[in-house]
Amino acid sequence: MDKEMKNILNNKIYISDIKRVIERFDLHCLNGRSILVTGGLGLICSSVVDLLVMYNECHNADVKIYIAARNKQLFEERYGVYPYIKYINYDATKPINFDFRVDYIIHGAGVASPELYVAKPVETMLSNFNGVLNLLKYAKNNNARRMLYISSSEVYGSKITEDSFEESQFGSIDINSIRSSYSESKRASEVLCKAYSSEYNVDTVIVRPGHIYGPTASPKDKRVSSDFSYRAAQGKVLEMKSLGLQKRSYCYSLDCAAAILIVLINGEKGESYNIGHDEVTSIREMAQIIAEAGNVILKIKEPTEDDLKQFNPMNNSSLNNEKIKAIGYRDSFSVQEGLMHTVEILKELS
């Protein structure tokens, strides 16, 4: 059982952060609607559900939520007290046979750990592509109002320039690297969404999150921001396995969740939107903030060969967020504030 998932909706800092977000955006068009969220117990999509829960609680919005996930016990511990949330057993690699229809679909399920991209590349690819295909068929057959696909900034690949990626700019991806199982299947899934939109008139929109962090991450999540946050909350030394000069668009999970809902409501059919942050932050700067929040030491260590296989090859994967800002999104938290809150919340939940 992930302890942080059980108690987080009772955490005062987290509740305050959620309320800050929902007070900034108009979500009333979701009132009385139904939403299916796949991966609804993960880092990003549990934050989406948390925003919807608080919106329901504060505004009597009557939003019905279906969480498609694999861990029913975790669902019960996290959301079992809310009568408007229903659990759906779901595996992104397998066909679906849902006996209900919904207005909106937010698809965030899939393999999301760099060590698994290398260890389980087949499952990584199938969970991405087949998961999207099955939900697109479901959306088409049940006349869903809209399906939002959560892709990744890794679809951009590597490039030489230091400019932040815009939605129409792409670099190269090394298909000889087994780690590319993730980025290439994300690219293919995006094209499939656009194909269903073009050929079958299924209303799809796509978001490309950058590097998302937050207290809703699992303790098993080995992405550096999540791993460091847990270690700092536990008072452990942080060990960087590079100089940490790579540039990223670190975004607090609640800001990411808000961006997803804004695109769900205001995004243009068939379009893709970056989810980043106004601030561009290096891995080292991120690590230093987390170390300060946990009052722990930050060390630099030589990476192993296995570590190198898992590294994101993009030296600058920062994202231009002007397009999503044009449809109403704004950051609610600075990078420093989001990282500090993450560590503080995890400390209280440990």
Q: What is the CATH number of the domain that holds 186?
A: 3.40.50.720
Asked if residue 306 has pLDDT above 80, the reply is no
- Asked whether residue 220 is domain-assigned, the answer is no
Place of tokens 């479901």: 138
- Asked whether residue 25 is domain-assigned, the answer is yes
- Asked whether residue 184 is domain-assigned, the answer is yes
Per the structure, the complete domain to which residue 148 belongs is given by 3-213+250-278+315-332
User: Which comes out higher in pLDDT, residue 183 or 222?
Assistant: 183
At residue 314, the pLDDT reads: 56
pTM of the model: 0.93
pLDDT digits (tens, 9 = 90+) for 148-166: 999 999 999 987 777 899 9
Our CA dihedral for 264, 268, 271, 275, rounded to 10 degrees, sits at -50
- Asked whether residue 34 is domain-assigned, the answer is yes
Asked if residue 336 has pLDDT above 90, the reply is yes
Mean pLDDT across 94-115: 92
- Asked whether residue 286 is domain-assigned, the answer is no
User: Which residue blocks in the chain are alpha helix, DSSP H?
Assistant: 3-7, 12-22, 43-59, 72-79, 114-119, 121-141, 180-200, 224-233, 253-266, 283-294, 305-310, 322-325, 335-349
Asked if residue 52 has pLDDT above 60, the reply is yes
- Asked whether residue 11 is domain-assigned, the answer is yes
User: Which comes out higher in pLDDT, residue 318 or 263?
Assistant: 263
- Asked whether residue 97 is domain-assigned, the answer is yes
Q: What phi and psi, each to the nearest 5 degrees, are found at residue 238? A: -100, 135
- Asked whether residue 150 is domain-assigned, the answer is yes
Number of folded domains in the chain? 1
